[in-house]
Each structure stands twice: as C-alpha cells, then as structure tokens.
Amino acid sequence: MKEIQLHDKKFVPYIDKESIDNAVKKLAGEIKDYAQNEPVVFIVVLKGSYIFAADLAKHYSGEAVFEFYRLKSYEGTGSTGEVKIIVDIDDELVKGKKLIVLEDIVDTGNTLEKIIEELQAKQPESLKIATLFYKPEAYKKDYPIDFIGMEIPNKFIVGYGLDYDELGRNLPEVYRLKENRMIDLILFGPPGAGKGTQAQILKDKLGLTYIATGDLFRHHIKNKTDLGVKAQAYIDRGDLVPDEITIDMIKEIIADPDARGFIFDGFPRTVKQAEVLDQLMADKDLIIDALLSINVPEERLIKRLLERGKTSGRSDDNEETIKHRLDQYHTKTEPVKDYYKAQGKLYEIDGVGSIDEVNQRILDVISNIKLREK
Ligand code: IMP
Ligand code: MG
C-alpha cells in the first residue's frame, strides 16, 4: 500500500484489509447474537455500503433478506447537510420486520437521521443501526448507534466502498486524505537565545507541534520515568543527556500520526543526533525544511541565563553550569549548523531585540521557505 491520487487529491494508506475484515466479522457476530434465530432485513445504504454489505453477508449465518436504499449527501470531501433519497424501498418490504441498517460510515449523522425517519414511517417491528466506520468527533445526533465496526478520527477516508467524488470505492483497503504538508523546523541557538519563548509563539501562530527536549526531560524527571531518572544525573552535572535517551523520547512523539509540523527545540544537539533525526523523519516520509539559528552574543546570553535562574527554579541556571553548557554548545552542538548548512537549510536570525521583533524576523524567514517534497 502506498500513496494514491484520486482526482486532485492525494491519499495515504490508513486501515489495512485485515483490520477491516476483523471489524466486519465482529459486526456479523454481534448482529447474529442480537437477532438470535429470527430473520432480519438488512437495509443496505448505497452506494457506500455495497462492499461492506457483501462481505458481512458472507459472514452472517442467520436468516436474512437484503434490501437496498440509495441516498446522497456528500459532495467532494464535505457533507452538504441535505440528504436526498434516490432509490426508495417499498413499505411492505419493511413493515413488521426486524430491520438492521447497514451504513458504511456515520459522520455528522445527517444521513442516518433521514434514514431513521423514513424507515420508522414504514412501521418496522424494530430498527437497529450498524455502521462499519464511525466518527465520534463528527457525530452531532443523539440517536444511538447499535453496532459499530470501528471508531475513526474525524478524517476523510476512501476505499472499501467509500468514495471521493465517485473514485476510490473499489480499493480493497482504506486510505485517508493526505493533509497539506506543514513546515518541519529546528530552532537552534545557544542556551538563553530565546528558543523556548519563540517556539511557543510559533506553535500558537502556525499550529505546529512543539518538541522541546528540555521540557521532555523535565516531564520525564518529574514523573520519575526510567528515562527521567537516567536523564537527571546528566542534567545536574551540566552534561548533555546521552543520545539514546533523547532519541527514545523524540521517537514517541514523531510516531503520533496526528502530530504534524514539528518545531524541534534543543534537538538535535550533536551531528550524530542530526543524522538520526533525518532518518527518523525519513521513516515517517517527512523531512526537515530548515534550521533557524538564533544568534545572540555570549555576554548577553550569560546575563539572560543568570536572570532566568533567579525566577525559573531550574537547577542548571547558575554561573558554573552556564559556562559549562556554553562550552558544550560550541564544541558539540554548533557543528549541527554546518551539517544543515551543507543541505542548504541554514537560516540565520538576529536574536537581539524584543521578543516580538525576533519573532517577526523568524516569521519573515519562514514565509520565504519553500517546503520540500520528500
Ligand atoms: P453524514 O450524513 O454526515 O453522517 O455522512 C454520511 C455519508 O457521507 C456517508 O454515507 C458517506 O457517503 C459520506 N461520508 C462521510 N464521511 C466520509 C468519508 O470520510 N469518506 C467518504 N465518504 C464519507
Ligand atoms: Mg453512504
């Protein structure tokens, strides 16, 4: 499975055949348990449910009749809110029967509401709803859904009967819409350069995911995780936390499929880490677009860090550790700049000025960066 194109949009693999198959089998079993030995009428909602209904039929061992109902509500990748019946079902086919509606997907619930209204008017004995996919975040109705194959986040999907403007229904697995790529960047500079402050603002303004190794360490240390206990000893000495510890923490975050557009702060700190980061990103089909280096003269840095030490309560903001951290920065971390410079990704930013001034310089630089396609 790999990326595909339907009309103007790209889609990426999302749910494999086996997971779909398991969900369908589970539903068939649950419906059979509910029906006991009584016959049911499956109302197949077209077009989307045709593959789902066919597969469910193969796994359904009880007595069942299949009727087909055709509705339309979606245009492109959004619900229109208005649901039309295109092919209806005769009243006598459902009157007094045990109905099970087979939906491919329940999104806002508009379609479902319309189906329920229409079918109730035909006076069935009972009416239950089964859907293969369900988007709880999008669902706006109160009507309970009796059988759910799989809950999914509020993303647009295609395949296994579901379409994007009629294409994609015949894909045997499910793909999801590929979102526009967001910038992935490294905020770089010596301790005290204002990386954290700037990253926080960028995160809010651009909707990026902020990964600050300092915060990660403090979080792990505070919660006394295994990684945290190990990291503590190094930080107390003003030493760099070993790569494996940092990398494990970073991996965890990049793995989150909903986290996008990363700002790295405090990582990579060594060329070796930079190489690992490039690989981790490549594994997820991502790429670092830029390293923004915030430049501040050394005397100012020391002054700023001592100030921060008075209020931050950070164990590492004292003169001795500050000097040590700056030394480490020059010897181990600065080469990272050259590493990304060689890739044509280095952008230098003057870090002297107010927070807003520096932020504006960063935004100007970002707006001129052309995102790379991996
Ligand atoms: P609802 O009325 O908003 O619940 O949407 C239900 C109908 O919209 C479904 O029967 C589908 O035809 C379509 N739909 C909803 N979400 C998706 C999706 O992610 N991909 C493709 N079609 C969808
Ligand atoms: Mg449908």
CA distances in angstroms from 48 to 6, 30, 105, 131, 340, listed in the order given:
16, 21, 8, 11, 48
Cβ of 347 less than 6 Å from ligand 1 = no
- Which residue carries 């799989």 as its tokens? 150
For residue 209 and ligand 1, the question of a CB distance below 6 A is answered with: no
Counting ligand 1 atoms within 8 A of each CB, the residue from 12, 107, 174 with the most, and so the one to mutate, is: 107
Predicted local distance difference test score (pLDDT) of residue 317 = 64
The Å distance, Cα 163 to ligand 1 centre, comes to 9
| Average pLDDT across the chain, whole number | 91
C-alpha–C-alpha distance, residues 159 and 152, integer Å: 14
* Residue 175 scores a pLDDT above 60: yes
Ligand 1 pocket, residue 109 CB under 6 Å:
yes
pLDDT, average across residues 311-330? 79
pTM of the model: 0.66
Q: What is the mean pLDDT of residues 145-159?
A: 96
Contact present, 316 and 214 (Cβ < 8 Å): no
The pLDDT of 317-343, averaged and rounded, is: 89
Which ligand 1 atom is the nearest neighbour of the CA of 156? 19
Q: pLDDT at position 277, please?
A: 95
Ligand 1 centroid–CA 106 distance in Å is 6
